[in-house]
Structure 1
């Protein structure tokens, strides 16, 4: 048996794994669904979401395998993470010098076939794999290989969304602590109660962050838009998009407001992950979000389509689509007029069947 090499970026890789705070956590539906789909698509008895730390291979999700972890030196996935940009395939482990006498091959679970697609962070660190295993030698056809790679990307995105959501939750907890301390301070200093209330009102007015999603709010976006207009000197192109979650009222009515809040947070997280093109994103209010682009209109249109597709593919366990209206700022036009035309385009997208991007009339 050949022990797996240590990746050249091992220190950075382990730091990234710790930032995700996912090891030894309870099962989660998003990951359980992904391994179930992988097993069905690839027609195998075993599928795993596997993470590699210093000493072990730990399974965040698994189907067809009782063990929760194995030593790292026995892990096929520890070999797979050495090449983050490709899937490791082992048609028959008995014919592979790396694995022929591996205890997982010669004994239970009697691995013969293995295919593992690395789980890669946005910075390129491979933290583990989404892998499929069979007790019979076999080859994985190209369409199933592509499906496995696609599912591994979804697993990576689910991990990133989980990390961002956790960071936001911690920020909210810290915010709650500071609010409680402030109330206590106000009680102790009744003589300056009125002054403190006025100060709090000023702080509230200055706050430019949406509490639920952690995104900038409408006021912050308006300021960013005005600053962009000032920078552009009516020469550089400037585009505004309004994004609305389709049938959001139905989500609240059928699944409850807690689920609605989860959807809003997931969309906000997706905008952070996938909207690399916009100069700014914000929550406008309710189920509406805003995006600001400082660049050509055609590039903004492509980015809006990318965001729309990314949100439609979020692993939330329920169907989710968005409609987007996009408007380019005209020379001499104030920001309110640009926003109004983007909003009109959004309603055109809604009338046109939803789950689409509509460009405002640029005549």
Structure 2
């Protein structure tokens, strides 16, 4: 008995069949129903939905056939798929040379009659057949053949649905940017290994200083770096190790070889030695890694990710570009790791409306009189039972994880609404990150918040850093001009922090120049710093910009900056960041509420120089 010839599209057909990931899966009612209907319509004792793999026929659904799998060489449906658009009818198999000596004919179940219609996959290739069979010879009526064809088309639709559901399930476990597994799939895989008692190692990785990539090259550059990092990790880890992107610039690996995990971490560091090419520039990135093995490092499977996260946090604190092995981490260490903190931060910001943050306000005073000139808003994150999280800890995570825009908007909205209810028109300073400022609706958001709150635009000062200017000069100029047209003030923050350029002061129309605390601290004792400070103060005066000296903590610093000509001062000397000054708050008594008279608060009016 010669087997059926191989179809011309065999390679494509097999690829389509295997892409469905349906072979060797349990029975499903949505396929069984077609087999039952076929058997009922044909009044046949045997019916099946067969799928033809390389070398075998596997039955997704069957009636009257005990085995779910048989050699492809004995398959009737292997002949049916040779004519994908026509049914195959065999009225008496003993009289057909193709089947007369077939074991399914000469032995059990003793097939004599067969009628089958090819079943096509979503891509149009015949991947199997819906068939009926009998142990006695018989004819197939046109109605039976037509009905089988209709049912076969229904099977094709069911296969399309199966494929769609499978793809959606995969998308739900896949990171869209990198194509790696996502956090949900990563955690499920780790839990599954632990439930099965399979030893494994978990490595959590952070790209170091990734926020700088976003600042310099924008989100497109950041995405390119993440995609390249994912490609390098996947290539180095191999097929047996799961690689996932967990959040922002954090990746995770689950290795089935815990004894080799330390060497794997070393190799991962090495793959980042080669520079990344971003927007035509070579940029060097490094990774920090937290490593934990189960069950060697701890018995509790549900704490593996937590321990790896804490190890990663230690690696970041230890100077970056290194691995921290949880085996050396003491149990006494507490606190959330970076990944845990990132998750808590995301849960706090998305969806909006239940943010746990609060604002603190720091005074900016007139240099000559010490009178209040403005208030800068700062964010605080109290976590009940865990203490406050320092901004220096969670703001970099927000930048790295793509959450900084959500955080900025919460601060801006809350600050503007609070200031709108004060008893005096004090200006407020709010920091805005580069990603938020360059969002398509960034300026529109600021305009809408001002409109909703009723705050006069002139009372709002947006502070930006040099990262905004370095990223896209043309876009920055347009955004700054648009904000100025609204009447909003613009301040250049942290000027003199290391890579400042006097050209920024010349080219960008800032209302306020804030001198970095480092420059303020160095100037009295360093001739170069003093020369830069005086140059900035002189240029600001010529451009009509107001200057603010940051980080003023002593009377000596305040006196020095006054003598050098700074317009305003800011720092702990004038009070630590805290609640809104009492004289600005509304009283809450009475039917409508009374306003606290503003005469209890000395106010300064600072105007740009003429």
TM-score (ref. length: structure 2): 0.32
Measure, in 1, the Cα distance between the counterparts of 2:65 and 2:71: 15
Are residues 1:199 and 2:405 paired?
yes
Partner of 1:94: 94
> Shift of the alpha carbon at 1:166?
0.4
Partner of 1:187: 341
Partner of 1:52: 52
Alignment of 1:304-315 (within 5 A): none
Larger Rg: 2
Q: Deviations over 1:118-175 (max 9, x none)?
A: 0113433110000001111111111111110010111111111101110110111125
Partner of 2:28: 28
Q: Does the aligned pair in 2 maintain the 1:186–1:193 contact within 8 Å?
A: no
Q: Deviations over 1:89-144 (max 9, x none)?
A: 00000010000011100100100000110011343311000000111111111111
> Shift of the alpha carbon at 1:65?
1.1
SS at match of 1:148: helix
Higher percent of residues as helix: 1
> Shift of the alpha carbon at 1:197?
3.1
Q: Deviations over 1:287-331 (max 9, x none)?
A: xxxxxxxxxxxxxxxxxxxxxxxxxxxxxxxxxxxxxxxxxxxxx
Partner of 2:73: 73
Q: Does the aligned pair in 1 maintain the 2:122–2:159 contact within 8 Å?
A: no
Where structure 2 has 5 or more consecutive residues not aligned to the other structure, the ranges are: 176-181, 184-243, 251-337, 343-392, 410-434, 441-610
Measure, in 2, the Cα distance between the counterparts of 1:92 and 1:153: 26
Measure, in 2, the Cα distance between the counterparts of 1:193 and 1:8: 55
Measure, in 2, the Cα distance between the counterparts of 1:192 and 1:73: 63
Q: Does the aligned pair in 2 maintain the 1:49–1:129 contact within 8 Å?
A: yes
SS at match of 2:131: strand
Q: Does the aligned pair in 2 maintain the 1:84–1:124 contact within 8 Å?
A: no
SS at match of 2:247: helix
Partner of 2:568: none
Distance 1:13 1:200, change over 3 A: farther
Q: Deviations over 1:178-211 (max 9, x none)?
A: 78534955826513466553435899x99xxxxx
Distance 1:84 1:194, change over 3 A: closer
Measure, in 2, the Cα distance between the counterparts of 1:144 and 1:162: 27
Q: Deviations over 1:231-258 (max 9, x none)?
A: xxxxxxxxxxxxxxxxxxxxxxxxxxxx
Distance 1:161 1:186, change over 3 A: same
Partner of 1:7: 7
Where structure 1 has 5 or more consecutive residues not aligned to the other structure, the ranges are: 207-363
Q: Does the aligned pair in 1 maintain the 2:17–2:121 contact within 8 Å?
A: no
Measure, in 1, the Cα distance between the counterparts of 2:61 and 2:406: 46
Partner of 1:149: 149
Alignment of 1:1-363 (within 5 A): 1-175=1-175, 176-177=182-183, 180-182=246-248, 185=339, 187=341, 189-192=393-396, 196-199=402-405
TM-score (ref. length: structure 1): 0.53
Measure, in 1, the Cα distance between the counterparts of 2:99 and 2:143: 26
SS at match of 1:174: coil
Q: Does the aligned pair in 2 maintain the 1:2–1:97 contact within 8 Å?
A: no
Distance 1:194 1:31, change over 3 A: closer
Measure, in 1, the Cα distance between the counterparts of 2:122 and 2:403: 43
Q: Does the aligned pair in 1 maintain the 2:16–2:123 contact within 8 Å?
A: no
Measure, in 2, the Cα distance between the counterparts of 1:193 and 1:103: 67
